[in-house]
Every structure is written in C-alpha cells, then in structure tokens.
Amino acid sequence: MLMKTTNTSHMNKSFKIVTVALLFIAIVSMSFKIIPFSKSLDSFMPTEVYNVDYNFFMKGGDKEMFIKTYLPSDNERQKIFSKKDIEGKSVFKIENEEGNQRAIWKLAKGSSMNNIKYSFTFKGKAIQYNIADNLPIQNSSSNRFLNEEKYIEVHHSKIDSLAKSLAFGKDDLKGVLTSFYNYVYNIPSAPIRGVTSAVTAFEQNQASCNGKARLFVALCRNKGIAAKLKGGLILENTKKRISHLWAEVLVNDKWIPFDVLNGYFAYLPSNYLEIYSGDHFLITHTPNVLFDYSYEIKNISFVPFINVTSKESIINHPVSLVKLLQSKIMPKSVLNFLILLPLGGLLIALIKNVIGLKTYGVFLPILIAFALTYTGYFTGVFLFLLITILVTVISIPLNNWGLLYAPKMVVILSCTVVSMLVAILIGIQYEINWLTSFSFFPVIIVSIMAERFARAIEEDGYKKAINRIRIINVRTTLCYVVFSSVVINSMLLIFPELLLVMIVLSLMLGKWIGLRVFEYSRFSTILLNE
Amino acid sequence: MMMKFKNLIKRSFTNDFDVLGINERNVSLIYPNNKRKYYKFADDKVLAKNILDAHNIPNAKTFAVIELMGDIQ
C-alpha cells in the first residue's frame, strides 16, 4: 500500500474561515431576496417586452377638436401594463365599442399646438395554434363575422368564383384555409398606401397588408367561415407610423390568427401588438386641421419569469444585476458573458479534476461556447470547422516555406479575418443567413482558435491536432448547454451572490482528494481486489 | 443498498481506497511538502545532482552537461 497521509493540516484554519464566511454572506444576502423574488414571479413568461408611446400632434382652428384611436387590451398572447395618458391639457376618456377600447381626446379650440402622448408597456409571446385535420366547416349563418362590409365584398361575383375554385375538392376546414392562405400569401406584396378592398387586391394581383387581409377574410366568409380583421403594430426598436392588419378565423370557437402578408399560418410572433378588431382606422381625427402622429417603440430588457412592471419587483433590489441590464450602460452580451464566465470555468475544472478529461486551456472552450450562443449550435460548430480547415490548408505552404513564427501567425490571422469578411459579404449578397452569422463570431476568439490549431498542427501533427479539437468540442458543447439556459442566466442576474457560491465551490474543489472518474477504471484491478 | 451507496460516496470523497489518485497526491503530498521555489530542483537534473553532491548523497556520476546542440562533438 502506498504511504497515505492522515494529516489534515491541508484543511487549515484560514481556508475554512474564508470558505464558510463567503458561503454565509451569499446565503444571508440571498435569503433577503426570497420573499421579493417569490412576489415578483411572472406566470405570463413573455418573450419580448416593449414600451410603446402614441404621439399625436394637432394644431387647430376655430372649433373644438377630437382625436380617436384604439387602445390594446390583454389576451393570451399579450399583456398591457402601466397605461398612462401623459398630456393633461385635453379631456381624455375611454369608451367600450364593440369589444374594442376606444380612446377619445377632446381638445379646446385655439391655434396652439397640442401634443398628446399615451404610453403603455407591452409584454408579448408568440403562440402557434394547431388546427386539427378533418374539421368540418361549420356554417353559422347568423354570425356577424360572415357579413359583407364596405371593403370586404364577401358576395362579389369575383370573390365567389375565386373561393369556389380555391376550395374545390376540399371539404375540411384546414384544407380550405390552407388553400386560401397560400393563394393570398403568394399575391405579390406592394407598399400601397391607403385602403385596398378585397376585390381590388384580387383584381390588381398586388396588395399591402390591408388588401391581403381583407381578401383572406372575404374568401373565408364567402365559404361560411367566420373571420375578422385585426389591427395593431409590429413592435421593433424604432419610431414608426405604419400600422398593420392581419386576420383571425374562428376555429372550434377560438379565434386563430393568420398574417397573409408576412406568412404566419395560425401563428403570431411575440412582437405583434394587437390593438383592435374589425375593419376600422386606427386613428380618426377632426378633418381639416394640422395633424401628425408617430409610434415610439422601445425594446426593454427583462428577465423572462420576473415581472418587470411591478414596483416591488426584485429588479429594484440593491443586489441585483437586472438594473444594470436595463440601464444599457453595459451591452447585454457583455454582462451575460461576465456572469457566465466563472460558471464555465467551474465546469471545466470539474471536468478536469473530478472526471479526469485532459484540458487544454481553461478559457478557450468557454469563449467558443459563448460565440455559439449567438450563432446557434450547429451553425456555429460548422463555421468553426470551416475556419479550422481553412487554417490547416493555409499553414501547409507556410510551414514548407519556413517562415518565422510570429510573422507566420500574422499571415494566418489575417487570412482568417479576410475570409470571415468575404463570407459575410457573400452571405449578404446572396441572402445566405448562416454565412452572415460569421459576423457574430468575435474575431479575437476565432483568431486565438486558429492560432492554437495552427501551432498544434506544427507541434503534434494533424492527427493529434484534430483529436485536440474534438476534446475541445466536447467541453464547448457542455458549456454551450449551460450558457444557453435562460433560467441559469436569469438566476445569475437576480442572485449575483451565486458568483460567491461558485468561488466557494471552486475552493472546495481545490481541496478535493477523491479519485478522478478515469482513475477508477484505470486502477480497477487494484480497487476490485480490496 | 442505500447505506452501501452512501458508504461508497463517503469513501470516494475521502479517497478511502488503496490507490493514491492525482488529486490526493497534489493536495496532500506535493503542495504541503514542497515549496514552489524547490520545484526547479525536480525539473532540472543538474541542479538536483549539485544538491545531492553537496550533502554527500551518492548519485550517478555526471560526465558532461550539454546545454546547446552545438556542444555535441
């Protein structure tokens, strides 16, 4: 038997004190946050949060003026919070009108400029609806969502014959809807301003959102399928004036969305703000006055399961990084990277000291894994392989020519940068998305990677170098799985004390004397003979 | 069964086996008993031999020290 020490002096006092103290601080600090944390859990789990401002400007004349618009309300895809009418000079009221909330501002006469601002916070998520196969078309003739409207000419002869030919041979709801949807979706879209009716859209064979949505609704209604128009805004981080129209169809007593312009079948993305239903104008106002408007939309950083709009929310806790995230002083990606770095390091240390896999460098796999969170796993791995192959090819002549090391590395790094840029340009030119995601690759990481690989080729030969890449890949994958977890990321933002816990775990791992997993199999004959 | 498993976990944490693993070697033997500044004696054969000679500890005789490729004749 080997000489073994029973001396526990390595667990010396100061080590114990520091470890326990760190753990104590972390636990105490986190325990203060448990109640606010549980109070601010948000069951809605939005995927996007926006702040929306309606801005209206009106300069009037000699009579009392009005502005009318619609206000959004909650549904299963969206929640509206913090509604505020900011400008107080006007008389403001909200009326309920056929299920829509209509906001009305009344302005006193006079020639002064009136600014009206209404703001709210939108939380949204995307929902994909399923329409069962073989559902029959239910004819409910009394339904008001089957009627002809001014711009939805349900019973026009052209709509009639189009609906008949598109639905020919199909008797189930999904089949008919698919046929209508494909037809309208494939009509060329054109940025037409003003109102396009269903028949006009068909006759011109080109339309914008409103013409296409009306044509789709008209076709559905013609076949006895209840359908209606939906109006709203597509939210993006900008100031815009364009609103959007899409359609909803009644399937099994449930309204299912269809956007025939942007190609969403029984689906709406999370940034669609629904404001009203029916064929209405979003804004109406007193005619013949100076009027202008805009929608100011700001994307808000948030933590998915935390209510950002509640005042007692945990994000306002002094020891929380969500504030830092929202301040936008530090880019989100940099902050995420910083808080995930220790976790990645701990993972690599676990792999080395507990499992016993050889590790070449602690941080390279973490850095690569981080790049993969931008590009997506498979695209990223594929791009890395491309660069690896490229570097291999370049380094063959460079080695043969016998260049000095440092200049040779510069040649390799420059070639990597040039080919990344060329790939991005080609990707943009031919709209190849996976090529453009090269732009998400941090150049430094790619350079380090290329440099190491080229060196490994030179020192250990191709076979070993490739094997090395494979080992790096295993650890990168593990880091990627952890990094891409929204829950882990969010928990670190809310409980940054977890970084202290990671220090404690690493300290303990630093004193770990157990056998590595690989040692159990290596010494299995001895271990089994005991 | 549960007790046996618990026992095994405990043994693997304290390394209660007849094998000295690399973790225990480093943590229990190398780090406490070897100061960093002495590592160079372990890494360099010539330095180690100088120390051994100074304390009259027998060791293999040094015929020559070749430091550069050019020294080989």
Min Cα distance A393 → chain B (Å) is 32
Q: Tell me whether residue B6 is in a domain.
A: no
Q: Does the structure show a pLDDT above 50 at A179? A: yes
pLDDT score recorded for residue A1: 37
- Tell me the average pLDDT across A448-470: 76
Q: Tell me whether residue B20 is in a domain.
A: no
Neighbours of A23 (CB within 10 A): 18
Least confident of A78-87, A151-160, A239-248, A517-526: A78-87
pLDDT score recorded for residue A21: 95
pLDDT tens digits for range A386-440: 887 887 788 778 878 888 878 888 888 888 889 888 988 998 888 887 887 777 7
Torsion of CA A28, A30, A35, A38, to 10 degrees: -160
Range of the domain at B54: 35-63
pLDDT score recorded for residue A309: 65
pLDDT score recorded for residue A312: 65
The angle formed by the CA atoms of residues A251, A162 and A159, to the nearest 5 degrees, is: 80
Tokens of A43: 């069951």
Least confident of A346-355, A490-499, B6-15: B6-15
Q: How far apart are CA B8 and CA A49, in angstroms?
A: 50
Looking at the DSSP bridge assignments, the partners of residue A93 are A104
**Count of the separate structural domains present in chain B:** 1
Quote the radius of gyration of chain B (alpha carbons, Å).
21
Tell me the pLDDT of chain A averaged across its residues: 84
Q: Tell me whether residue B5 is in a domain.
A: no
| Fold of the domain spanning A129-268 | C8orf32 fold (3.10.620)
Q: Tell me whether residue B43 is in a domain.
A: yes
B32–A513 C-beta distance less than 8 A: no
Min Cα distance A500 → chain B (Å) is 23
Q: Tell me whether residue B12 is in a domain.
A: no
Q: Domain residue spans in chain A?
A: 50-126+287-299, 129-268, 322-520
Least confident of A146-155, A190-199, A278-287, A341-350: A190-199
Q: Tell me whether residue B48 is in a domain.
A: yes
Q: How far apart are CA A489 and CA A485, in angstroms?
A: 6
**Cβ atoms A434, A427 nearer than 8 A:** yes
Q: Which of A2, A513, A530 is the mutation pick for testing B, counting most B CBs within 10 A?
A: A513
Tell me how many residue pairs between chain A and chain B have CB atoms under 8 A apart: 58
Q: Does the structure show a pLDDT above 60 at A6? A: no
CA distances from A518 to A154, A412, B25 (A): 73, 37, 15
Q: Tell me whether residue B39 is in a domain.
A: yes
| Residue of chain A nearest B32, judged by CA positions | A10
Q: How far apart are CA A281 and CA B24, in angstroms?
A: 76
pLDDT tens digits for range A93-137: 888 888 899 988 888 777 678 888 899 999 998 889 988 888 887
Burial A471-508 (b: 16+ CB within 10 A, else e): ebeebbebbbebbeeeebbbbbbbbbbbbbbbbbbeee
- Tell me the average pLDDT across B19-48: 88
Which residues of chain B have a Cβ shorter than 8 Å from any chain A Cβ? 12-15, 17-24, 27-29, 31-32
**Cβ atoms A135, A252 nearer than 8 A:** yes
Contacts of A81 (CB under 8 A, 6+ apart): A120, A121, A122, A123, A309
Min Cα distance B59 → chain A (Å) is 24
Sign of CA dihedral A15, A17, A20, A23: negative
Q: Tell me whether residue B69 is in a domain.
A: no
Q: Does the structure show a pLDDT above 90 at A509? A: yes
Q: Does the structure show a pLDDT above 90 at A321? A: no
Say what the pTM is: 0.68
Q: Which residues from chain A sit within 8 angstroms of residue B32, using beta carbons?
A: 7, 9-10
A498 closest CA partner among A29, A34, A32: A29
CATH number for the segment(s) A50-126+287-299: 2.60.40
Q: What values do phi and psi take at A501, rounded to 5? A: -60, -35
B24 → closest Cβ in A9, A513, A526: A513
pLDDT tens digits for range A77-93: 998 888 887 765 677 88
Q: Does the structure show a pLDDT above 70 at A486? A: yes
pLDDT score recorded for residue A26: 94
Which residues of chain A have a Cβ shorter than 8 Å from any chain B Cβ? 1-2, 4-5, 7, 9-10, 353, 356, 510-516, 519, 523, 526-527, 530
pLDDT score recorded for residue A4: 44
Q: Does the structure show a pLDDT above 90 at A196? A: no
